[in-house]
């Protein structure tokens, strides 16, 4: 049997006009600012008017620690949304927007897969509604205003050695990681070291995804710290009068995007901050809007639950006042076997012993989600080669740990393959047993917040850092940022900071290398390892195979 | 009497749904890919199906040599389009898209002014339909693929000292003019000199505006030369397999954008290449589409007629097989007085003597347009302070030179102020007396082409160049590019290469500093002076005043 590719499935989709999708949520046609027949932004006036409605129920889809075997968090989010609609619930999903740059590298698109996708996939993966371009423009306008200020006399006395605001581009381009700017003589300014990050790594992206409204957006943008003066005082975007024009550039982008799943159910795809130096969730704007319009809202968070779910709960939910009532932890037999020590090439063979070993990883994620007071169900994203004994072993393990497990086949079967999962999720969501709480309170000192995450979530014994880094914690604590949450940047491939440590490592220590302030996004990034904020392209980039075919259709994108 | 600002006029406009605007041209609603209610792209299938229809009549709006007093080429294009519609003609206009970067510098928007504007002005001036972002992405993908190729072994043996393909950003950012990339160690590649141009200066933009269809677009993109090998062989985008993904990134942008004038008449706003290192006209795609849909199509070209009209005729019309039947030369009494030696602060005073002196500038533009076999009318874009005697003097001068002049008040009165101009244009267009011809044939040698432009259009005695530059002419002539037209990059403020020489200077010589090949755009750029491909921001940038007001409306943009 030949399996159609994701793009073939997507192209064969019978999309409905976006006004019909909006109508399922009671959105009037004139509140949709459409981008062609199948994509729309919600008009700001309409969104502003939703404030008094009751909220629907928020469900998080997260996952075990990722492996090269894949887990399927996005496909499960899509499948669960479709499954909920199939069992008669008014449900919507909230996803992150894909980044353009990586499409030309290794990974292809990011709009789900198989029969659990959002469409139109080509547009969503390419420029979509231009949100990321707007975010890049706003970011780079601040950069230009900063260097322009220095050029014309530097009235603020900015120390050009201490400029921390880099530039961005939505492209995998390693050549731009480290650059020297303003070369070529007096007319071009004062040379200094600089560099580019990929647009999704911009603090503007994090702010965009956390801001409650345009006013909050402008205020947060104004608080961005771009560098320091010679006398070590922070210089903000507001000092450079950049907050106004940046907000103008983001005004339209800020409205949530509405598209549909392959089964014509509503999907909000909006915002996409990096999951390491930012919090890795779709926009608060989209999530809150969806909650006003649907009874059940399913959303996802980047990486495994140690990073994604923790930040979703401790940053996004804390800041936006969201109260998730259920969580889905996605696992695959293949990935669990990898956590149990099986090499990728041997994943096709039944190996219950290795699987059982790997289940420790799932177990810790189950426990962790429980620490936030949110009831969970495990979704086993089934692959064809999975053996019954293996599936059974996962189910037994979950039962022992007090959660239900559900085998899902949404990749092959669409929403029908996630109906049972949907029923279990509804039972949890409607059961009223979740009592969401953050892991730590705002007033816990910064160093203690970091230690709490490391010990409670990562299973570490302690946190360590050089004196210089510990001093940073003290400085930010004293400087008025002690109430901010911590956003950990560490490898997503292990609970520890060593990507080779699979399963559920214990007795490790978490070294913090640096603490960075994101004053506009309102969190502190604890850097615990190498973090890459500008990817490169591989030797044979995906771009090589991307072109229009003779019918003008995109080929090679996935 | 208080005069409303452009943005106030624009915001008070009673816009009609873009489907109604399309219907005026017989475009079915399902052929419009809308971006909100008032902006649409034409579907490619619809455009492809227009091939057999007869073409409407093409009218160029050009101008005298620009001065700080302003001429009003875009407002005249808009006013004439509205005037034609008012006198019962089926007319459309074709404009260039504004660039985002300059909005935050000095000039504000570029969508007309007064009661002769295209709307919705805020969107058109900000991200619009994302075309320039797509062009920037395509350009920078080629840059990334180039450095990535070098990084992974440089199989093509590209000489990193001879890479000519820079990067782009739609921002006025002088700090990016000259940079060194790939710093920071082995993982970031091989450091080399590089720089950024503003997106409108990209060869991708020029190609986008000259390509006939997506196939032609891909072929031209593939021919872009990015640098040379160690053995001095050109390396193309196709060698880097960049043509396919670049075309994919541009696929949607390539379709013409439809908006409306303040009087609800159709306006295509598409493409915007720099008028110095490129040809400065809107896209061939939009112009050809408009000609299939309207009986009269009015378009403009950048700068004065010596640059804009010459390139429109010799590059765009030649390459696209267009046959313009009439030209409008826009002049103002104020600008003519400046050409006659009056300082800007004295323009408010009647000065017929200076005006008469300045008319030599207009006279040469009239003669020049005649060299292309196109009949012209002079549009006097009236300002309140213009004296009757001054207007009369312009009219008399034009009559002596065999062309009609028409005073227009479209800025204050909209299309009603350009009805008489519209009647004169129709008389020329329908008279059948224009016999369009290019200034030189394809097979004239490159150096002779340059000399022909300089002597016939600029009034120069000759062209000079160093041996090195003359050798470039010989090399490109021998290298198979002898049939390309010449695209002159020189100051727009004088017929000569000295911006201080107003009026109609003679006996000057034109020094060519460099000849650059744009192999994909299919022209050679003769650089005759400093050309700036990345603007800077002024000491007090327009950005400082741009923000959302308390109603969420953009203020300070214009």
**Section A233-244 average pLDDT:** 98
| Spans of all domains in chain B | 6-130+253-431, 131-247, 446-528
pLDDT tens readout for residues A441-462: 999 999 999 999 999 999 999 9
pLDDT single digits (tens) A336-376: 999 999 999 999 999 999 999 999 999 999 999 999 999 99
Residue pLDDT, tens place only, B463-480: 999 999 999 999 999 999
Residue of A nearest to B149 (CA): A539
Task: Give CA–CA dist A285/B32, Å, rounded.
Answer: 29
Inter-chain contact B546–A36, Cβ cutoff 8 Å? no
Nearest to A44 among B252, B537, B552 (CB): B552
B69 belongs to an annotated ligand binding site: yes
Residue B33 to residue B14: CA distance in whole angstroms: 21
Cβ–Cβ below 8 Å for B244 and A556 = yes
A69 is in an annotated binding site: yes
Contact A144 B244 (CB under 8 A): no
Distance of alpha carbon A485 from alpha carbon A492, whole angstroms? 19
Smallest Cα distance from B471 to chain A, Å? 27
- State the nearest Cα–Cα gap between B245 and chain A, in angstroms: 5
Q: What is the rounded distance in angstroms from the CA atom of residue A512 to the CA atom of residue A528?
A: 5
Per-residue pLDDT averaged across A224-251, rounded?
98
B446-528 has the same fold as B131-247? no
A to B CB pairs, distance under 8 Å: 229
pLDDT, tens only, A85-117:
999 999 999 999 999 988 898 865 678 889 999
B411 catalytic per annotation: yes
CB-nearest partner of A148 from B147, B252, B536: B536
Classify residue A432 as left (phi > 0), alpha (psi -120 to 50) or beta: left
pLDDT value at residue B258:
98
Digit-by-digit pLDDT tens for chain B (558 residues) are 467 788 788 888 899 999 999 999 999 999 999 999 999 999 999 999 998 899 999 999 999 999 887 789 999 999 999 999 999 999 999 999 999 988 898 865 678 889 999 999 999 999 999 999 999 999 999 999 999 999 999 999 999 999 999 999 999 999 999 999 999 999 999 999 999 999 999 999 999 999 999 999 999 999 999 999 999 999 999 999 999 999 999 999 999 999 999 999 999 999 998 888 899 999 999 999 999 999 999 999 989 999 999 999 999 999 999 999 999 999 999 999 999 999 999 999 999 999 999 999 999 999 999 999 999 999 999 998 899 999 999 999 999 999 999 999 999 999 999 999 999 999 999 999 999 999 999 999 999 999 999 999 999 999 999 999 999 999 999 999 999 999 999 999 999 999 999 999 999 999 999 999 999 999 999 999 888 899 999 999 999 999 999 888 888 886
Interface contact B174-A147, CB threshold 8 A: yes
Could you tell me which chain B residue has the CA closest to the CA of A101?
Answer: B141
Of residues A175, A188, A545, nearest to B175 (C-beta) = A188
Q: What is the pLDDT of residue A1?
A: 44
The answer on whether B266 is annotated among ligand-binding residues is no
pLDDT at position B1:
44
Residue B34: its chain A contacts at CB < 8 A? 34-36
Indicate if B405 belongs to the active site.
no
Optimal mutation site among A245, A532, A550, interface B, most CBs of chain B within 10 A: A245
Give the one of B141, B172, B251 whose C-beta lies nearest to A543's C-beta.
B141
Among all residues of chain A, which has the CA nearest to that of B100? A137
Q: Do the chains contact at B183 and A174, CB–CB below 8 Å?
A: no
Min Cα distance A552 → chain B (Å) is 8
Task: Give the SS3 label for residue B258.
Answer: strand
CB contact under 8 A, B543 and A242: yes
Q: What is the mean pLDDT of residues A51-63?
A: 96
Q: Do B181 and A179 touch (CB under 8 A)?
A: yes
B71 is in an annotated binding site: yes
| Second-level CATH architecture of A446-528 | Roll (3.10)
Measured between CB atoms, which of A133, A148, A537 is closest to B537? A148
* Chain B residues closer than 8 Å to A169 by CB: 140, 169
CB A95 within 8 A of CB A238: no
Contact A127 B252 (CB under 8 A): yes
- Smallest CA–CA distance, residue B40 to chain A, in Å, is 8
Selecting among B383, B484, B495, B523, the annotated active-site residue is B383
Is residue B510 classed as helix, strand or coil in its secondary structure?
Answer: strand
Among the partner residues A37, A171, A554, nearest to B248 by beta-carbon distance: A554
Q: Is residue A67 a known part of a binding site? A: yes
Give residue B108's pLDDT.
Answer: 57
Judged by CB atoms closer than 8 Å, whether chains meet at A148 and B546 is answered as: no
Report d(CA A478, CA A488) in Å as an integer: 20
Cβ A173–B147 below 8 Å, yes or no? yes
**Closest residue of A to B30, CA-based?**
A37
Residue B109, pLDDT score: 63
Instruction: Note whether B543 contacts A244, CB cutoff 8 Å.
Output: yes
pTM for the whole thing? 0.97
3-state secondary structure A338-384: HHCCCCHHHCCCCCHHHHHHHHHHHHHHHHHHHHCCCCEEEEEECCC
Cis preceding-peptide flag for A144 (omega within 30 of 0): no
For A196, name the nearest residue in chain B, comparing CA atoms only: B181
**Cα A306 from Cα A474, distance rounded (Å):** 25
Instruction: Tell me what pLDDT residue A9 has.
Output: 83
According to CATH, what is the number of the domain B6-130+253-431? 3.40.50.300
Pick from B148, B188, B252: CB nearest A537: B148
* B531: chain A residues, CB-CB within 8 Å: none
What totals of helices (H) and strands (E) does chain A contain, helices first?
Answer: 20, 26
Q: Which residues in chain B touch residue A133, judged by CB atoms under 8 angstroms apart?
A: 127, 130, 133, 137
Option in B34, B126, B179 nearest A181 (CB): B179
Residue B473 phi/psi, 5° resolution?
A: -60, -45
Tokens of B65: 């040599």
- d(C-alpha B124, C-alpha B115), whole Å: 16
Active site residue B73: yes
B292-339 pLDDT, tens digit each: 999 999 999 989 999 999 999 999 999 999 999 999 999 999 999 999
Of B216, B135, B138, B141, give the one whose Cα is nearest residue B521: B216
pLDDT at A113: 87
| Pairwise CB contact (< 8 Å): B247 & A547 | yes
Residue A108 has a pLDDT of 57
Average pLDDT over residues A138-150: 98
Contact B188/A178, CB-based, under 8 Å? yes
Tens-digit pLDDT profile for residues A267-291: 999 999 888 889 999 999 999 999 9
Would the pLDDT of A231 be above 90? Answer: yes
Give the pLDDT of residue A109.
63
Identify the closest residue of chain B to A103 by CA–CA distance: B245
Please give the Cα distance from A119 to A115 (Å, whole number): 11
Q: What's the 3-state SS for A528-549? A: CCCCCCCCCCCCCCHHHHCEEC
A181 to chain B: which residues are within 8 Å by CB?
Answer: 175-176, 179
Those residues with Cβ within 8 angstroms of residue B538's Cβ, 6 or more apart along the chain or in another chain: B105, B106
Cross-chain residue pair A244–B546, CB shorter than 8 Å: yes
Q: What is the pLDDT of residue A183?
A: 98
Q: Give the closest-approach CA distance of B355 to chain A in angstroms.
A: 36
User: What's the CA gap between A365 and B186, in Å, rounded?
Assistant: 37
Please give the positions of A annotated as active site. Answer: 73, 75, 96, 107, 275, 303, 383, 411
Does B241 qualify as catalytic in the annotation?
Answer: no
Query: For position B107, what pLDDT does the model report?
Result: 63
CATH number of A131-247: 3.30.1510.10
- Does residue B275 carry a catalytic annotation? yes
Show the tokens assigned to B445: 């040698």
Chain A residue with minimal CA distance to B128?
A130
Name every residue whose Cβ is closer than 8 Å to that of residue A123 and which is 6 or more positions away in sequence.
A35, A36, A38, A39, B252
């Amino acid at each position: 049997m030949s399996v159609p590719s994701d793009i073939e499935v997507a192209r064969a989709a019978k999309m409905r006009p976006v006004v019909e999708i909006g109508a399922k949520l009671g959105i009037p046609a004139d509140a949709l600012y459409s981008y062609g027949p199948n994509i729309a932004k919600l008009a700001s006036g309409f969104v502003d008017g939703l404030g008094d409605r009751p909220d629907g129920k928020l469900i998080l889809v997260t996952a075990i620690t990722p492996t090269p075997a894949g887990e399927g968090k996005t496909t499960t989010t899509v499948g669960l949304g479709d499954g909920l609609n199939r069992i008669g619930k008014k449900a919507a999903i909230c996803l992150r927007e894909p980044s353009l740059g990586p499409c030309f590298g290794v990974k292809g698109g990011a709009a789900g897969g198989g029969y659990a996708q959002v469409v139109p996939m080509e547009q969503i993966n390419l420029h979509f509604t231009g949100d990321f371009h707007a975010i890049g423009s706003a970011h780079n306008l601040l950069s230009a205003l900063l260097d322009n200020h220095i050029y014309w006399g530097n009235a603020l006395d900015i120390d050009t050695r201490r400029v921390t605001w880099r530039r961005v581009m939505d492209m995998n381009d390693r050549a731009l990681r480290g650059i020297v700017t303003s070369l070529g003589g007096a007319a071009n300014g004062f040379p200094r070291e600089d560099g580019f990050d990929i647009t999704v790594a911009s603090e503007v992206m994090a702010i965009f995804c956390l801001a409650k409204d345009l006013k909050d957006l402008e205020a947060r943008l104004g608080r961005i710290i771009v560098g320091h003066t010679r006398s070590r005082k922070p210089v903000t975007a507001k000092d450079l009068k950049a907050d106004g024009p940046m907000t103008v550039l983001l005004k339209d982008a800020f409205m949530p995007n509405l598209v549909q799943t392959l089964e014509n159910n509503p999907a909000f795809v909006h915002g996409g901050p990096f999951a390491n130096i930012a919090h890795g969730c779709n926009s608060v704007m989209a999530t809150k809007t969806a909650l006003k319009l649907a009874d059940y809202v399913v959303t996802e968070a980047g990486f495994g639950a140690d990073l994604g779910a923790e930040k979703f709960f401790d940053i996004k939910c804390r800041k936006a006042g969201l109260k998730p009532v259920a969580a889905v932890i996605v696992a695959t037999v293949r990935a669990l076997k990898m956590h149990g020590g099986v090499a990728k090439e041997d994943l096709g063979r039944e190996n219950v012993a290795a699987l059982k070993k790997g289940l420790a990883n799932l177990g810790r994620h189950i426990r962790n989600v429980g620490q936030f007071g949110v009831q969970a169900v495990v979704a086993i994203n089934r692959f064809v080669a999975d053996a019954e004994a293996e599936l059974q072993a996962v189910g037994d393990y979950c039962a022992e740990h007090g959660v239900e497990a559900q085998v899902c086949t949404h990749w092959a079967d669409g929403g029908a393959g996630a109906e049972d999962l949907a029923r279990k999720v509804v039972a949890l969501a409607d059961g009223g047993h979740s009592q969401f709480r953050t892991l730590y309170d705002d007033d816990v000192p910064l160093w203690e917040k970091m230690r709490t995450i490391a010990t409670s979530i990562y299973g570490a014994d302690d946190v360590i850092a050089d004196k210089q880094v510990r001093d940073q914690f003290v400085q930010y604590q004293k400087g008025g940022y002690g109430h901010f949450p911590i956003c950990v940047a560490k490898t997503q491939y292990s609970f520890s900071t060593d990507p080779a440590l699979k399963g559920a490592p214990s007795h490790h220590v978490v070294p913090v290398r640096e603490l960075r302030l994101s004053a506009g996004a309102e969190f502190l990034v604890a850097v615990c390892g190498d973090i890459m904020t500008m990817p490169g392209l591989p030797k044979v980039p995906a771009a090589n195979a991307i072109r229009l075919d003779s019918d003008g259709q995109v080929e090679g994108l996935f």
